Amino acid sequence: MREISPLQKERLNYRPKLAGVLSLGINNIKLSLKDKTSAVGDVEEIKKLFPNIFGEPIARFEAQGSELSRENKNVGVILSGGQAPGGHNVIAGLFDALKTANTQNKLYGFLGGPSGIVDGKYIELTDEIINAYRNTGGFDIIGSGRTKLETQEQFKKALGVCQELKIGAIVIIGGDDSNTNACLLAQWMKENNTGISVIGCPKTIDGDLKNDQIEISFGFDTATKTYAELIGNIQRDANSAKKYWHFIKLMGRSASHVCLEAALQTQPNITLIGEEVEQKAWSLDKIVTYMADIIAKRAEKGKNYGVALIPEGLIEFIPEMKNMISSLNDLLAGLEGNDSYINAKEDEKYSIISSKLNDSDAKLFNSLPAQIKAQLLMDRDPHGNVQVSKIETEKLLIAMIKEKLSQMKKEGKYTGKFSDQAHFFGYEGRCAMPSNFDADYCYSLGYNAFALIQAGLTGYLSSIKNTTKPASEWIAGGVPLTMMMNMEKRHGEMKPVIKKALVELDGPVFAALEKYREKWALEDCFIYPGAIQYFGPSDVCDIATITLQLEQEKQLANV
């Protein structure tokens, strides 16, 4: 028997709250359809690529409407992409709904991510297995992976596995790229009259999979609260020792939602937001100057310490860096299989790359430290992009700030002492034990996914809305995946993908940061959130993120 902590033992017994009408039970809810949908961009191309599932209406479950199917339905489930707190509860919710509908239904978990359904690697998920993972972090119940589902061969193999197991539906739990795969698979299954439906669930701690129908991706709540606790601990230390500047890089490669939410929860001295940097076209030198000026002003007050938050994807938001990285992505895609490049020494690789870049990109590339160059040339992720989490942006900024402060000292503009500490908070938040919010939200997402299956829908993303209210007032339904898609360049080719939701600089969340950042820069306004609370009053244990609260206030004001 595996050992578990007293808290985990207690959490295994937590009973998640179900969203709204879902609490009536899977056999007592009905489907309502309204408002045909389109796509967020490149409508005609998306329609052409997904003719069998494009333009479907928004789904909502109510106490009255069309009856759901009662037929026996085996389901396969896939965890795809990086971990996010609450994934196990999505599976638990799916399992409970499936068994409540018909005890003969079976749930199969495909092992190791999307490759599991292609290679036929699976386990049947039972009460014993599910009960050991309720309300726990991680994806270890069946594992995850980043295999892309996009070829005819993969689809045919997946179909064969599903037919062998008498699977009538597949649930893919993942982020924007994973649910793009779900959309491709749903189109193929429908086009080939397989009778197999495909439903997605919105996962990513980055918070960039959201829209009017998807208010929040699961894991964002737990991850940001976990990071806020760590940042608060560091701020308390900084305020006690009064001798270090802490540079903290936070996960979020394509959007700065995590960094922004963590800042609102902790009120650090400096917060960089990638989308702001891009809009204002800040250069690397401009960012360094901005940070060095705050450090110098605090030094004038005798405060040679502070905390700076840096989004993981910052480097790609700096226009000059973004252009160079885009060129590098295309260039390295063309060098795949090139033996003369692959076998070259490190310095030789830099020369080869530099010779193939345009003058401005080459100048910037050559100006970077060798360590950063090496990190930029690492193997790409499965989507052909630079692995920004491996670029030590916080250390690059520290090195450049040291040079800037040295220069300012010579000019008499800085008289303080600068000692630094670098941190990267990433994996600490991805597999944390889910907060009550994520435990409830994820359980509802999984339960709701089976309701969508029973409603005969395919190509939909499970949607739970009104999430700043008590769970009894949450609204369950689904949104067509094609509604969120547009065309983007990947591996040098235009491909259909779910559009990422970036920080809105004219929105209420960024406005809250902008209102106070000057005060936070020079004064010590630190907040120490402490650990996630699982037991106690709901305004402590069940509270939603500041981001979600501000966004919902704006949405309600516009109704």
Sequence-ordered strand ranges (E) for 182-228: 197-202
How does strand 167-174 pair with strand 122-125? unpaired
Whole-angstrom CA distances from 5 to 8, 434, 436 are: 5, 15, 18
Cα separation of 43 and 53, whole Å? 13
Helix axes 508-522, 257-266, angle to 10 degrees: 50
CB atoms within 10 A of CB 511: 13
Examine the residue annotation and report whether 206 is marked as an active-site residue of this protein. Answer: yes
Whether residue 255 contacts residue 547, with contact meaning beta carbons closer than 8 Å, is answered with: no
**Residue from 176, 177, 206, 361 carrying the catalytic annotation:** 206
Q: Which tokens go with 360?
A: 């401005």
Backbone region of residue 267 per phi and psi (left: phi > 0; alpha: psi in -120 to 50; beta: other values): left
**One-letter amino acid identity for 134?**
R
Q: Which tokens go with 76?
A: 């396969």
Distance from the Cα of residue 330 to its chain's centroid: 25
- In which element (H, E) is residue 495 found? strand 493-498
Residues in Cβ contact with 45 at an 8 Å cutoff, skipping those fewer than 6 apart? 487, 496
**One-letter amino acid identity for 172?**
I
Whether residue 326 contacts residue 365, with contact meaning beta carbons closer than 8 Å, is answered with: no
Cα separation of 546 and 468, whole Å? 10
Cα separation of 452 and 473, whole Å? 19
Cα separation of 176 and 201, whole Å? 10
Q: Measuring CA to CA, which residue among 86, 78, 505, 492 is closest to residue 275? A: 505
- In which element (H, E) is residue 44 found? helix 43-49
Site of tokens 């299989």: 337
Residues in Cβ contact with 97 at an 8 Å cutoff, skipping those fewer than 6 apart? 26, 446, 447, 449, 450, 451
The 8-class DSSP code of residue 532 comes to P
The 8-class DSSP code of residue 13 comes to T
Whether residue 445 contacts residue 221, with contact meaning beta carbons closer than 8 Å, is answered with: no
Alpha helices by DSSP H, listed for 313-435, are 314-317, 319-334, 339-342, 346-356, 359-367, 370-376, 393-410, 427-430
How does strand 475-480 pair with strand 57-62? antiparallel
Angle at 32 between CA 171 and CA 499, to 5 degrees: 50
Q: Which tokens go with 234?
A: 């560091």
| Residues forming the active site | 206
